[in-house]
Chain A
Amino acid sequence: MLVSRQLAESERLRVGDVVQLAPDKNGSEPRSFRIAGIYEPTPDPSRLGDAALEVRLHLPDLLSLTRDPLTPEGTEHVESINIALMDPSDARQFARDVAARMPGVMARPSADAGGNAERFVILERFHQAIAAVTITAATVFLLALTIMLVEERRETVGVLRLIGVPVRRVFMQVLVEGVVIAGFGWLFGLGLALASEGLINRFFQWRYDTALVFARITPGVAATCLMIAVPLGVVATSAASWALLRRGSLRLARR
């Protein structure tokens, strides 16, 4: 049999060890099995926190071990049959064919079998809600900062206006600066996120003793951040500048 890594570590088992398995907690009618290998269980998000203390046997061995004495050999039942198709894209059609030919049997593609997927959809919405609040707070602070930074240039802008530089030219310059700052900010934020991704995954994988990946910065995520950060930076800078440029030149240049 194979044992999970977690079970091997918990019971200090090694390949080659002979152990006894019994079908009930009293240990009655045990059978001996040799550990042929140690495997890493497929991470299951719906079982987060559960210690993966499990073993894998040949099916006949498992059926033989757990068969009710009154059940004739060959009439046992299994919960499911996993099928690997030559062409995975045939999964839905195959499932329909099986269901049609064997009434009472439920066949479905693996992609649709995520019975617990809804829980993670909800969690995703929760995370998005947190992100929305964080972005809102960041935007508010960003506006405050850009107002202060633009205010610092009040005299300079006033003098430029007095000597005849058009509003549009000044505004465009500020806009370009806003794009550059937002772009660099996005890059820095992305770097910070990538570094955090590693830390978060390492921490939670250690904490839950799992190979699950908890955080992943995909190109899509990076692109979404860019599409939020740069326009926000530009809008904040523009809003602050517009408020400033509306004032008269003399008022701006006056100390």
Chain B
Amino acid sequence: MNALAYAWRSLVRQPARAVLGVLGVAAVGALLFDMLLLSEGLVLSMRDLLDRTGYDIRVTAGDPGRDAGPLIDEAAAVAAAVSAQPSVRSAITVRLADARLAGASSAVRPRRAFLQGIGGEGGRPWTRRRGRDPMGTLEVVLNDEGVRALGVEIGSEVTVSVSSCSGNEEAPPPVTFRVVGVVTFPFDSPDDITAGLTAAGLADACGTDDHGVAHAVMVASRGDAARAAADISTLRPDLRVLTTDEALGAFQEQGFSYFRQISTVLTTVTVSFALLLIAVLLTVSVNQRLGEIAALRALGFSRRRVVADVLCESALTVGIGGGLSLPLGALLAVWLDSILKRMPEIPTELHFFVYHSDALLVHVSLLAATALLAALYPMATVARLPIAATLRNEVVS
């Protein structure tokens, strides 16, 4: 009977204790796994959303701060000049506005919406679900919430009343658009109504003639975003150029840093907790069997063998519990993610807990280290066990 088989028999000798030990490791392991998912989850999810737009560089006139930020004058010309760069595949302009949308039915009250006016020949920064992208000036695409809330469909008319449009201080008259498609915007929150138009369409809705202004130029590089960004900065040093990596770096430092910190703190606490509890379980288990262990030593079991038995017992408890912790952690992550996603203004497609292979690797490594470290003291106890004195004590007691 090798050490692992012996350890298994030792473990199942008290099934209640073994099951509880394994379940405890599973629960702690699940929490540990989730904290590892959280440590990079937001960044990975945000990257995914940014990538879904199809563009990896953003050019703005300044730091957007908490609103859309300043307009880029002659944004269309900027986009055209940027598109001509060898390192750039395509570029579009994006102008933003707030508006109230109303469907044809008077029974449905108007709703607040965000507008995106897109100029240029590049792909649209949304995912088309049905219909087509707007091509004409008076065409619009809506997200699912917009279609549902306004009671419209492809072919319906919606009235757009812009309430806030940079470049025009006066409220413009409402303009009627036709819905030509239903799309998904990557950064929509559950209750957001978002509409996509052409740049000319948004300019008309804003009551201005200037189709060329925009809040941002979105750029798709030919693979080397850093190089493309450098080229754009050289072309227009007055504009702010941010790659997806740089944007994520900024998010990491500010908005996301809390979750990284809490993930690190909780990972440390969880591992320490598991280490302590497994060490206590093993130590008590070993102390209850000292006579037995001394007898095995007297029978000829080497010190190395009895120490290996203890290590295997730790490895089995942590290994089985660790295996169970993965599906448990996955379920727990769904629950915790659903709690955090209730925060206001969190995009529907953004997740806090995202699986990545590094998390699994670190999880396995941490559990393995925990199994080893937790077994150190009981292993030392067993290694140093005075055989004769222990046998004597067993008889006396």
Contacts and interface: CB of A to CB of B under 8 A. Distances in A.
A95 interface: no
A122 B342 contact: yes
Nearest to B63: A25
B280 A140 contact: no
B255 A49 contact: yes
A125 B335 CA distance: 11
Contacts of A125: 339, 342
Given A147-B16, A148-B285, A126 B340 contact: yes
Interface string B249-288: 0000111011001000110001001000100110011001
Interface string B66-110: 000000000000000000000000000000000000000000000
Contacts of A145: 280-281, 284
Interface stretch (B20-28, B196-204, B221-229, B380-388): B20-28
A130 B266 contact: yes
Contacts of B280: 141, 145
Chain B CB count within 10 A is highest, among A25, A49, A118, A134, for: A49
Interface residues of A, number: 33
A165 interface: no
B17 A147 contact: yes
Contacts of B20: 140-141, 143-144, 147
Contact of B14 (A116, A138, A151): A151
A144 B280 CA distance: 10
Contact of B24 (A48, A130, A144, A152): A144
B30 interface: yes
Contacts of A152: 288
B340 A122 contact: yes
Instruction: Name B's interface SS.
Output: helix
Nearest to A215: B265
B332 A148 contact: no
A119 interface: yes
B232 to A, nearest CB: 19
A138 B273 CA distance: 9
Interface in A136-170: 136-138, 140-141, 143-145, 147-149, 151-152
B59 to A, nearest CB: 16
Interface of B: 14, 16-17, 20-21, 23-24, 27-28, 30-31, 62, 253-255, 257-258, 261, 265-266, 270, 273, 277, 280-281, 284-285, 288, 332, 335-336, 339-340, 342-344
10 contacts: A48-B257, A50-B254, A119-B343, A119-B344, A122-B343, A130-B31, A144-B16, A148-B17, A148-B288, A200-B265
